[in-house]
Amino acid sequence: MYPIEKFHVHDSSEIKAFVEKHPFATIVASDPSEGFVATHIPLLVHRWEDEQVFRGHVMRDTDHWRAIRHSGDVFVSFLGPHAPVLGSWQSTPRFGGTWNYQAVHVRGTVHGTEDGVLEKHLEELKDRFETSPDHRFSSLPADYVNAMLPLIVCFDIVVSDLKCIFKLSQNRNLGEFDQTVENLRREGGNSALVAEEMELRRNKFYRG
């Protein structure tokens, strides 16, 4: 990750809040026959205190499941809002521009889950993101669920290494920081989300 320590986050609770807010992850595994294989799936925090464990699922008959199963070790990336920061927004002439972003990188090992865990995981996942109380997991037809379960495999990723970086212009002076926030907000969309994250941490970055 970016080598400047000022960008790194070590607060476990802040990292947990980030991956729960941005659960759609990229998983990279290596298969001897196919090389590196990547897939994009939501991962839920299963355990965090004694050890950090993420839980996810994929379709069985896929290249990414074969890679995950054979490699055992995986790399996972969680990415939050990101946006370019332009040199024209800064008061410092020697600034070519950069990119602000938030990310968590995880290395871990894949473990299978016990019978019955898959259905519970799918229920937790659907009910977490479903906004209509009439469309919870329990409302799905039993024949639909029973037909899907054999096609899906659930697994845990036990974390061996975790790094977090919030690169949000905290290495700039306060005037440039505020100018960047203003311009990002004006850009809208993903840029405005970055501005929001920067504003949330402004007092922490520049206290004292």
Q: What are 52-68's pLDDT values in tens digits?
A: 999 999 999 898 898 98
Strongest mean pLDDT among 15-19, 32-36, 111-115: 15-19
Q: Which residues have C-beta within 8 Å of that of residue 152, sequence separation ≥ 6? A: 57, 58, 59, 60, 118, 122
pLDDT-derived band at 208, boundaries 50, 70, 90: low
Domain spans of the chain, in order of start: 5-170
pLDDT-derived band at 13, boundaries 50, 70, 90: very high
Does 167 score more than 80 pLDDT?
yes
pLDDT-derived band at 207, boundaries 50, 70, 90: confident
What is d(CA 132, CA 146) in angstroms, rounded to the nearest whole number? 23
Q: Can you give the pTM of this predicted structure?
A: 0.92
Q: Which residues have C-beta within 8 Å of that of residue 103, sequence separation ≥ 6? A: 1, 77, 78, 79, 80, 164, 165
Does 188 score more than 90 pLDDT?
yes
Confidence at residue 96, expressed as pLDDT on a 0 to 100 scale: 85
Does 87 score more than 90 pLDDT?
no
Helices (H), the chain: 12-21, 63-71, 117-129, 142-148, 174-187, 189-200, 202-206
CATH class of the domain comprising 5-170: mainly beta
pLDDT cut 70: percent of the chain above it: 100
Q: Find the mean pLDDT for residues 4-17.
A: 95
3-state secondary structure of 57: strand
What is d(CA 159, CA 20) in angstroms, rounded to the nearest whole number? 15
